[in-house]
Structure 1
């Protein structure tokens, strides 16, 4: 058997992290060339795999090799968004001799594992699963074509491949002490573990779970009979599934089942941990929900020259490097939009998934006032939007296109396409302000603000996700007052919009243009405060300390 077809690491395991952990995630944002991610869940998982490598942890990653990735975000002739699905080929992934069989809709499907070796991107060994091989018929081959396929049966098949196929791949590598579900997508793993251990108590002893979202859409539910027909439960009789998960109705909630079949689970910020407890506490038999705050890999995301200037106390070099990074970002703006942005002008970036609760267009709710702000001749503002809506979410795509149309005739407003890891890095490094506008408390973590702060971009945010653990208004960030969440949604939006513009017009803009020393202090304080706590080495350590060794 080839060397990489068994449990192998290129380093001596640190004894603090000796437990063998297999980490399951539907997406990973590891590096720009490997396009198997859609957003924050993937970025988080990628940073975790990098820090696990840096800390010499006894972990491997299990994921999916998406033939068409998530999608390529391009433009129609009128500049609006178009979703393009093009084949991806990766010469840096290597063959293994591991092929396993899973049952999907009572049909055998072959699942092949390819390996991403640690030396390629500095991660723990990672195994990516594909069904797009000659041994399968056409329908089976399409299971691993698109991340988050809109077809329900395909999505369920993807969970089976990741969970059961992934479990069998781990077994072929020598097995693990613990199986970590990053979100509920790999839940069929629990039923494979039930077959392996023959005891639900043993399943709980070997499985832990991270829940990432308080959003209903992020906590999948499917008809339990449909799941049974699809072979989701790995042959476990339906009556036994109901007994083990205590789910009696026809809708099977993946998150609830994971909470009942795991030893312990975690939310991804202190606030989200509390929100998750409130969401699920009325359900009997769930495991304890703790919190481990998300973080990002500092070495990957930060600019070395910027940090050298910060640590040497050279403000002139710090500001010079920040201006250089604005120039680099503005070259992308010019290339995509034909607009020449000015590095002396305050630049605000809103960039993340275009989920409705994130309110991409909150800044422009009062269009007349928005245009007055960006076009003010004495203290103008440049605004950049970027992000990839789910391609089959018509509302999200419509919001994106509305902003594109708003931007076309505005010299200080741009909407960029192709929001992946490299553009994300450039936006964080080239922005002065990183804007985050979710409806509180629906943002579980929101890690993009961490990597923005690492690059001297000042967070301007709703007090949600990780921000309550970091932010001090006017010292290291600018934070909106907390709005009463019992108000109707449109009232919350109105109040947040009012507060957003008040802080922008009366604090942020005057500070940037007329109190530059204060601006630099806030920028530097954000950089000092974000590390090391919001670096993923702390997070990867806490997963062993709090979750794996629970």
Structure 2
């Protein structure tokens, strides 16, 4: 296949003819392609699938990570072990394209791989690698680990994605009308474009930006002199960069500059849009921030059989199917932990990236209530935890390990490893209740509950991210009513949420499931229906063209 004057290999549909290059550090496309860590990747993967389904004129630009994010394994005592295993991909096409960019004033070779749209039904994707013999070892390591803990390596990764991706678009002649940055990791593309067009207006009309981080501390900042030394600014001096970006201290804030260089940006839920506008309003020169709520791809995620029974009004079929899905997922639980879970028992699943604000072990912090919950013979429960902490986030790893130790006390508690796309889908099928309890308002969107609902799990969540747009309490899910969080300390907020979680679980959810299953099933069916179109990524991919790219 020739990559000269590249065009997407299918005719673009009328509303979607504008050429767009979508830059992301991670894409969760399919289980065999391990180039993702968490929600950002899951979102990007669903976006690429919908771009294909809607026949949009869009290409994905990412990085081929040699060791992925990491492989989650166990020590002898079942606690978390981090392993780095090389990945092999026979389904990626070597484009034959090789080119150089400068990193640290030093030419680095880039090799380009192509993911054909027909392989996993996605938009065409280009993945960059520096793991080639022409590079010295340090340059090869740029594409070894997603979100490398070494700061210089991380900045080099940002340069590879941004400058490398933008240069590739020139080499293949795709000539994007818009460059869409999914998070600010690829912002160096803007400096490449500035170098090319020599003025900021030409950059601005071509750049759009999606921000995913609802708090300032979470936005990447690096020393401006380090970025300069690493060739991040494509030859501009620090003084020129300051003049151009309005950054006058020494911390180069990637998100802030992205908001100043883009013509328009978006938050990833209605609530996040509000939070983001408020958060960035104190900075001059920031572009308008709209909201486009994250969504997930129905075709990839949903259990179609459940939906068929729902459409046919076959309640027996729904119950039978859900029980089968639970039973099948519980084989994984048994295989990993030696515990036999019962498909007739109410099953709570908490599974997502382990991060402090997501409060994985929240239910366990009240030991008496937790003990009572797990030993209740009238309303028995089973709980599964899974998720990958960042490999050097020691508090998160410690929380994971505490849950592992706690689970040894109970037959009905399991902690699983290997939380990636395949296990994610199985755990959503295993769940009666998908538990989500981030500290409000720190979850920008959080999309795992969408795909849970597509597999017959009922959401139970604090009122954050996409949840305010979705849950109608008792109708299609359950939600902790917002407290006066602004006037609470973190400890008070945690205590308030914990009390509410237990109240709703003990007094509403469990009695409904065991004493009035017909109504529980109705809640499940409402949830499946409400998530189907409103939180399906075709709606989202359409809105990107309609609102962000127009």
Aligned residues: 548
Q: CA RMSD in A?
A: 0.8
Segment of structure 1 superposing worse, 483-492 or 36-45 = 483-492
Per-residue CA deviation, residues 128-151 of structure 1 (Å, 9 max, x unaligned), is 000000110111000000000000
Tell me how far 1:98 sits from its aligned partner.
Answer: 1.7
**Equivalent residues of 1:25, 1:186 under 8 A apart:** yes
Partner SS for 1:546: helix
Per-residue CA deviation, residues 290-323 of structure 1 (Å, 9 max, x unaligned), is 0000000001001111111011110110110000
Partner SS for 1:163: helix
1:213 is matched with which residue? 213
2:177 is matched with which residue? 177
1:149-160 residue pairs with structure 2 within 5 A?
149-160=148-159
2:521 is matched with which residue? 520
2:243 is matched with which residue? 243
2:42 is matched with which residue? 43
**Equivalent residues of 1:224, 1:251 under 8 A apart:** yes
State the alpha-carbon separation in 2 of the partners of residues 307 and 171 from structure 1. 44
1:161 is matched with which residue? 160
1:530 is matched with which residue? 531
Per-residue CA deviation, residues 207-258 of structure 1 (Å, 9 max, x unaligned), is 0000001144531011111111111111112112111111111111110000
Partner SS for 1:214: coil
What 5-or-longer segments of structure 2 have no aligned partner? none
1:26 is matched with which residue? 25
State the alpha-carbon separation in 1 of the partners of residues 2 and 120 from structure 2. 19
1:316 is matched with which residue? 316
2:70 is matched with which residue? 71
Partner SS for 1:56: coil
State the alpha-carbon separation in 1 of the partners of residues 141 and 517 from structure 2. 55
2:506 is matched with which residue? 505
**Equivalent residues of 2:216, 2:279 under 8 A apart:** no
**Equivalent residues of 2:434, 2:458 under 8 A apart:** yes
1:463 is matched with which residue? 463
1:59 is matched with which residue? 58
Runs of 4+, deviation exceeding 3 Å: 215-218
Partner SS for 1:531: helix
State the alpha-carbon separation in 2 of the partners of residues 201 and 10 from structure 1. 31
**Equivalent residues of 2:215, 2:279 under 8 A apart:** no
2:10 is matched with which residue? 11
1:245-394 residue pairs with structure 2 within 5 A?
245-394=245-394
Segment of structure 1 superposing worse, 226-235 or 96-105 = 96-105
1:401 is matched with which residue? 401
State the alpha-carbon separation in 2 of the partners of residues 178 and 309 from structure 1. 42
Q: State the TM-score, normalizing by the size of structure 1.
A: 0.99
State the alpha-carbon separation in 2 of the partners of residues 388 and 41 from structure 1. 14
1:447 is matched with which residue? 447
Partner SS for 1:63: strand
State the alpha-carbon separation in 2 of the partners of residues 96 and 169 from structure 1. 11
Per-residue CA deviation, residues 350-405 of structure 1 (Å, 9 max, x unaligned), is 00111100000111111121121112112111000000000100000000000000
Say if 1:6 and 1:114 are closer, same or farther in 2 by CA, change over 3 A: farther
Per-residue CA deviation, residues 463-499 of structure 1 (Å, 9 max, x unaligned), is 1000111110000000001022221101100000000
State the alpha-carbon separation in 1 of the partners of residues 525 and 4 from structure 2. 46
State the alpha-carbon separation in 1 of the partners of residues 29 and 535 from structure 2. 18
2:90 is matched with which residue? 91
State the alpha-carbon separation in 1 of the partners of residues 331 and 436 from structure 2. 24
**Equivalent residues of 1:8, 1:125 under 8 A apart:** no
Per-residue CA deviation, residues 249-290 of structure 1 (Å, 9 max, x unaligned), is 111111000000001000000000000001100100010000
Tell me how far 1:6 sits from its aligned partner.
Answer: 4.1
Tell me how far 1:99 sits from its aligned partner.
Answer: 1.6
Partner SS for 1:112: strand
Say if 1:526 and 1:66 are closer, same or farther in 2 by CA, change over 3 A: same
Segment of structure 1 superposing worse, 483-492 or 129-138 = 483-492
* Structure 1 position 476 matched with structure 2 position 476: yes
State the alpha-carbon separation in 1 of the partners of residues 328 and 392 from structure 2. 32
* Structure 1 position 127 matched with structure 2 position 152: no
Partner SS for 1:532: helix
